[in-house]
Amino acid sequence: MTGTETSRVRWLLVFWLFVLSAVSYLDRVNISIAGGAIAEAYHLSDVQLGKVFSAMLVGYALFQTVAGRLADRFGPRRVLAAGVAWWGIFTALTAMVPAHIAGALLIFMLVRFLLGSGESVIYPSANQFISRWIPTAERGIANGWIFAGVGAGAGLTPLLITHIMLRYGWRSSFWVCACVGFLAAGVWYLIARDAPAQHEKVSVSELNLIRSGLTYSPSNAQTRALVPWRSVLKSKEVWAVTLSYFCYGYVAWIFFSWFYLYLAKVRGLELKTSALYTMLPFLAMLVCCLGGGAVSDRLTKWKGARVGRCAFAAGAIVIAGMFIAFGSQVESARLASVVLAGGAGALYLSQSSFWSVTADIGGASSGSISGFMNMGNQIGAALTAIVTPWLASQFSWTTSFLVASSLCLLGAASWLIVDPTRQITPVNTVKDQLQTTS
């Protein structure tokens, strides 16, 4: 631990979580860009390709609560480093499925399922880090940076993967993504620690600042007891944010899974132009994650968490639904891309609220609680990977976007019943411990 000079180690680690977040989306969105080439090489239909997309999301969803519990018990440093290495291996294996092999669809689905299970650690671990390292007043902007990595990774993916595909083939793009992941995991393991007091570069003043703003003390054995699952399942706040994040995931993954192919096949943009316009939603996500986190923190300081976290998130999601509904009706392909990108950006204004609230109410169990919430998100994401092309084939792509717009209203309404000051861990854990010992 350093002396009198104030350090800012927590922000270095937040930045590296931004990098890991970007890598995670690079590794999960790359297949949507390479999807056309893979479908052609293995003779897969759009519906079959949707099953491949969904396999990753199902693995990601099923292991969310497990990943969160692992982060709570073993800390974000080791769990996150191991998870990134795991998903790097299965990113590489995606490129190794032999051509003309029987059962290619099932093999792709298995590999992507296992990749998703590894990626499940990223955000529950990050939220456990937030609960240990970031004062409550800074959690909006910290989460904004972490989830800006979503926009950065997904935004860079179309140009990077398209460039590599055109020059070296689609398989090479997965090898590159795997190498980037291994490098990022190694750096994180070297520079991260599970608690501020364990980091030799954290100054006394930074440590005191962090401790003064935490909702629980990492050194307090009583508050470090993990909240029982029955207490989680009794919380209306947990169910409300989970329902809202389900709707959020359904809407967001239209952009991650289908937007590139939508612009190319439905709107008629050629390959390079589609890649360029596919960047717009993700750049909007990047900017709005940062802006939304900062605004949420300011509103929270000014008007309290009910306004700064809940009302702000609800309003942003409503605006996203309006943009998406309008964008689906626009005739110009380029204008539609811009308007729909506005919808993606508005959606991501609310991103930091989900994770700030679960860190606040979860305390020592924030990894488990945010993992449960994120499971809802990924169920929505897996659903859209299959339902969106089905709606498009049965009705129209406009219908697919209007369904997403309607879910935005449900997701916004869910925030209205959340009380972000109602902590689960400090109250319910003590009660359960007393009941156990009596």
Confidence of residue 428 (pLDDT cuts 50, 70, 90): very low
Tell me how far apart the alpha carbons of residues 151 and 281 are, in angstroms, rounded to a whole number.
8
Q: What pTM, to 2 d.p., does this model score?
A: 0.76
Do residues 49 and 95 touch, judged by C-beta distance below 8 A? no
For the chain, the domains span 10-214+226-426
Beta strands in 57-101 (DSSP E): none
Do the Cβ atoms of 22 and 153 come closer than 8 Å?
Answer: yes
The whole-number pLDDT of residue 192 equals: 95
Find residue 386's DSSP bridge partners: none
What is the mean pLDDT of the segment spanning 11-35?
87
Please determine, for residue 154, whether its predicted confidence score (pLDDT) is greater than 80.
no
Find residue 2's DSSP bridge partners. Answer: 203
Task: Give, in degrees to the nearest 5, the angle at Cα 287 between 126 and 129.
Answer: 10
Neighbours of 159 (CB within 10 A): 15
Name the CATH superfamily, with its identifier, for domain 10-214+226-426: MFS general substrate transporter like domains (1.20.1250.20)
What are the residues whose beta carbons fall under 8 Å from the beta carbon of 431, sequence distance 6 or more? none
- pLDDT score recorded for residue 76: 93
Between 148 and 250, whose confidence is greater? 250
Summarize pLDDT for 301-347 with one digit per residue, the tens: 898 889 999 999 999 999 999 999 988 887 787 787 888 889 999 99
Tens-digit pLDDT profile for residues 181-213:
999 999 999 999 999 999 999 999 999 999 888
